DNA sequence: TTTT
DNA sequence: TTTT
């Protein structure tokens, strides 16, 4: 069975990075993908989807270092859903894309000015070793297994 | 920007098909993708994700005809999120994969017995013409534009 | 069955555009994807693959207009192979990626200078109607295609 | 940059497995993907593409064990091209899909008979550690890869 | 919440 | 809620 998500979009804010008690690092960020279409009136409209993304370990470390608000990235991951209850006892559902690979795309800086363009010296982040499945409490958790692809990238001219 | 989901998994039930007032047909179904992994104790565990899938128009018509409970399908689509309020005024969020293409995989029937195996005579369903954007009421809606690829498949021996 | 290729890379030159006798427009271009890796000596090496890409009809028209030498694009297509004989009667094989969708990425211009940055006003090009499979002579022919992949995971709570 | 191929198709024959002098195991096999389309006369035609696939190391070992002639598999990899000269000094080009992940799909056996259905106990094969890029002779060499696609849409309420 |  |  296959469960794969591929996104090319921008971060809405800096990644939120945390280190769990077990030492595992996690980074979360919102990522926007937009598409344009013409409405019935022939006007161009833009539709934006905001995706919650989570990356672990090495990917999280790199996220902290390389991902910024506004960064345009290529991301692969899987679609996960968790159920939980809020303090009022309501059933809630959270959907997250658990990233297994991402790549910063060369961004077009606003002309002039010192580009904060981050040349992807970082030869792409991939998750090869899945984090340990912590069967412990509070864990809405979710695991690995099917494993993934690899690949990567770069940028500059010719 | 790219927003793509690829799943290979099974339907949990028959698709629910409806025809809207404007004549557009919609089909919804839950789709499971599972992956196995070894837990710390070395035991095999299975983790299943249930995805809400929606397909429109021609894809919906074909879903009604070809997709069954238990069908193994390959599906491509995009990830969409809608916000709404329940009757208690709570903010809710729904995530759906809006399918743009799917393909029934040849399924392994339980040995013996007349297989309800549906040989994919159906040369794959693709959505080429996006449904009209109805900006009207009640519409948690969501639109087209970036459009997609097409392709397909078959099964038989060699 | 699924046959899908996804590339993010740069054009090595302007697309070569032609119009066949039947009026169909075709565009061809080479596209490079590079990846970096460390060799045994620990040195960073870059490995570049050059892919022959072909797009038809509306995609070809748009290619002529929007794709330039050096353009960074996201491309989806399918992998096709053709056999033919050169004038010496040798059997030759040509592999091409027949594009069904592409998207120009905002490119990072070399700092300074007037950016030849082509703001993707072009809301993406897709091929909905595949060109007719012309089994005849000289025909670079071919139809459509689709699909994608797997990945993996992580675990803990939040 | 992204270079990703995704195929769902069947093996034309048993994989050819070899072990190189350096101990690395390689498996090669042809994989067919077919698609149906209507020709101008309205007749259904089937177009089959045969892809050369190579997998390394653990993937090769698993190929030897699990992949059979006729196996239906989901495969991810990257597209590579090599140039070489035949004994007549002609320049030749070989294109191969270097697999980084594959998954055997449950196959529909011809009814009756003991199904050679191979229940994917095999929790999928992935290549995390790419084989060393051996720029040397005889080396069908190469590393890993990734990525995927776009799609589209629908609209109305529910 | 990004970006053009 | 599927499936093995």
Predicted local confidence at residue D54, as pLDDT: 97
Predicted local confidence at residue D127, as pLDDT: 65
Chosen for mutation from B98, B145, B147 (greatest number of chain A CBs closer than 10 Å) is B145
Asked if strand F contacts B98 at the CB level, meaning under 7 A, the answer is no
* pLDDT for residue A123 is more than 80: no
Both structure tokens of B20: 């809207």
Predicted local confidence at residue B3, as pLDDT: 96
* pLDDT for residue A138 is more than 50: no
Predicted local confidence at residue D26, as pLDDT: 97
pLDDT tens over chain B, length 158 residues: 899 999 999 999 999 999 999 999 999 999 999 998 888 898 899 999 999 999 999 999 999 999 999 999 999 999 999 988 888 888 888 999 999 999 998 765 444 433 333 334 445 787 654 433 333 333 333 333 223 333 333 322 22
Q: Do B103 and D124 contact (CB within 8 A), yes or no?
A: no
Chosen for mutation from A149, A155, A156, A158 (greatest number of chain D CBs closer than 10 Å) is A149
**Which chain B residues are Cβ-neighbours of A47 within 8 angstroms?**
142-143, 145
- Average pLDDT of the residues in D123-133: 54
* pLDDT for residue D103 is more than 60: yes
As a whole number of angstroms, the distance between CA C10 and CA D121 comes to 40
Among candidates A19, A14, A92, A89, which has minimal Cα distance to A53? A14
Predicted local confidence at residue C107, as pLDDT: 61
Does any CB of chain B come closer than 8 Å to the CB of residue D39?
no
Predicted local confidence at residue D125, as pLDDT: 81
Comparing A13 with D115, the larger pLDDT belongs to: A13
pLDDT band at A117 (very low <50, low <70, confident <90, very high): very low
Instruction: Indicate the range of A20-34, A139-153, C85-99, D125-139 predicted with least confidence.
Output: A139-153
Comparing C94 with C124, the larger pLDDT belongs to: C94
Asked if strand F contacts B117 at the CB level, meaning under 7 A, the answer is no
Sign of the Cα pseudo-torsion (A125, A126, A132, A137, in order): positive
- Average pLDDT of the residues in D10-19: 96
* pLDDT for residue D124 is more than 80: no
* pLDDT for residue A112 is more than 80: no
Does any CB of chain C come closer than 8 Å to the CB of residue A84?
no
Asked if strand F contacts B8 at the CB level, meaning under 7 A, the answer is no
pLDDT band at D107 (very low <50, low <70, confident <90, very high): low
* pLDDT for residue A110 is more than 90: no
* pLDDT for residue C148 is more than 70: no
Q: Minimal Cα–Cα distance from A53 to chain C, Å?
A: 12
Predicted local confidence at residue C108, as pLDDT: 54
Predicted local confidence at residue B108, as pLDDT: 54
Among candidates B78, B75, B57, B158, which has minimal Cα distance to B124? B75
* pLDDT for residue C73 is more than 60: yes
Residues with Cβ < 8 Å from C114, sequence gap 6 or more?
A: none
* pLDDT for residue A97 is more than 90: yes
As a whole number of angstroms, the distance between CA C67 and CA C60 comes to 10
* Mean per-residue pLDDT of chain C: 76
Nucleotides in F strand less than 7 A from protein CB? 1-4
As a whole number of angstroms, the distance between CA A97 and CA B30 comes to 18
* Mean per-residue pLDDT of chain A: 76
| Concatenated DSSP letters of D45-110 | EEEEEEEEEEEEHHHHHHHHHH--TT-EEEEEEEEEEEEEE-TT--EEEEEEEEEEEEEEPPP-PP
- Average pLDDT of the residues in D86-105: 91
> Which long-range contacts link A106-111 to residues 24+ away (Cβ below 8 Å)?
A106/A155, A106/A156, A106/C72, A106/C105, A106/C107, A106/C108, A107/A70, A107/A71, A107/A72, A107/C106, A107/C108, A108/C106, A108/C107, A108/C108, A108/C109, A108/C115, A108/C117, A108/C119, A109/C108, A111/C115
Predicted local confidence at residue D65, as pLDDT: 93
Predicted local confidence at residue B123, as pLDDT: 53
Chosen for mutation from A19, A108, A157 (greatest number of chain C CBs closer than 10 Å) is A108
Comparing A89 with C108, the larger pLDDT belongs to: A89
Q: List, in sequence order, the alpha helices (H) in A51-132.
A: 57-66
Predicted local confidence at residue B120, as pLDDT: 41
As a whole number of angstroms, the distance between CA D104 and CA D84 comes to 32
**Which chain D residues are Cβ-neighbours of B8 within 8 angstroms?**
8, 74, 105
As a whole number of angstroms, the distance between CA A10 and CA B3 comes to 12
User: Nucleotide E4: nearest residue by CA–C1'?
Assistant: C119
Predicted local confidence at residue D88, as pLDDT: 84
Task: Classify C29 as helix, strand or coil.
Answer: strand
**Which chain B residues are Cβ-neighbours of A8 within 8 angstroms?**
1-2
* pLDDT for residue C111 is more than 50: no
Q: C146 CA, F3 C1': separation in Å?
A: 25
* pLDDT for residue A72 is more than 70: yes
Predicted local confidence at residue A107, as pLDDT: 63
Predicted local confidence at residue A156, as pLDDT: 25
User: Tell me: the pLDDT tens digits for A74-87?
Assistant: 999 999 999 888 88
Domains of chain D: 5-104 (2.40.50.140)
Predicted local confidence at residue B57, as pLDDT: 96
As a whole number of angstroms, the distance between CA A104 and CA A102 comes to 7
As a whole number of angstroms, the distance between CA A146 and CA A3 comes to 9
pLDDT band at A128 (very low <50, low <70, confident <90, very high): low
Predicted local confidence at residue C118, as pLDDT: 36
Given 3-state DSSP classes, what are the helix, strand and coil percentages for chain C, each rounded to the nearest 5?
5, 45, 50
**Which chain A residues are Cβ-neighbours of D77 within 8 angstroms?**
149
Please report where in the chains the tokens 């980074």 appear, as a residue.
A27
User: Nucleotide E1: nearest residue by CA–C1'?
Assistant: A12
* pLDDT for residue A27 is more than 90: yes
Of chain C, the percentage scoring pLDDT greater than 90 comes to: 55
- Average pLDDT of the residues in C27-50: 93
Chains touching D (at least 3 CB pairs under 8 A) are: A, B, C
Does any CB of chain C come closer than 8 Å to the CB of residue A30?
no
pLDDT band at C120 (very low <50, low <70, confident <90, very high): very low
* pLDDT for residue A60 is more than 70: yes
User: Nucleotide F4: nearest residue by CA–C1'?
Assistant: D119
Instruction: Indicate the range of A17-31, B126-140, C12-26 predicted with least confidence.
Output: B126-140
Q: Tell me whether strands A91-104 and A44-56 are parallel, antiparallel or unpaired.
A: parallel
Comparing C96 with A146, the larger pLDDT belongs to: C96
- Average pLDDT of the residues in A85-111: 82
Predicted local confidence at residue B107, as pLDDT: 62
* pLDDT for residue A146 is more than 90: no
Predicted local confidence at residue A126, as pLDDT: 79
Comparing A90 with C65, the larger pLDDT belongs to: C65
């Amino acid at each position: 069975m296959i469960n794969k998500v591929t996104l090319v979009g921008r971060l809405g804010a800096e990644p939120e990075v945390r280190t769990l008690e077990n030492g595992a690092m996690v980074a979360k960020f919102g990522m926007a993908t937009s598409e344009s279409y013409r409405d019935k009136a022939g006007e161009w409209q833009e539709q934006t989807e905001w995706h919650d993304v989570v990356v672990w370990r090495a990917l999280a470390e790199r996220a902290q270092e390389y991902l910024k608000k506004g960064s345009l990235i290529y991301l692969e991951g899987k679609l996960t859903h968790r159920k939980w209850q809020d303090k009022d006892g309501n059933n809630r559902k959270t959907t997250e894309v658990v990233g297994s690979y991402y790549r910063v795309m060369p961004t077009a800086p606003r002309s002039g000015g010192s580009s904060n363009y981050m040349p992807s010296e970082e030869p792409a982040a991939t998750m090869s070793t899945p984090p340990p499945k912590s069967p412990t409490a509070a864990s809405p958790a979710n695991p690995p297994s099917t494993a993934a692809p690899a690949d990567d990238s770069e940028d500059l001219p010719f």
